[in-house]
Amino acid sequence: MAAASPDTIRAVPIAGPVTLDGALTEPFWATTDSIDDLRQREPVEGSPATERTVVRVAHDADARYIAVRCYDSDARFRFPDTGALSRPLNGAVVVKVDHRLTP
* Predicted confidence (pLDDT) per residue in 44-98, tens digit: 888 888 888 898 999 999 888 999 888 877 766 666 665 555 555 566 666 666 6
pLDDT at 26: 93
**Domain map (residue ranges) of the chain:** 1-96
* 81 contacts 35 by C-beta, under 8 angstroms: no
Residue 9, CA atoms < 13 Å, CB-side half-sphere: 23
pTM for the whole thing? 0.70
Whether the pLDDT of residue 11 is over 70: the answer is: yes
pLDDT tens digits, 33-52 = 888 888 887 788 888 888 88
SS3 53: strand
**pLDDT, position 4:** 45
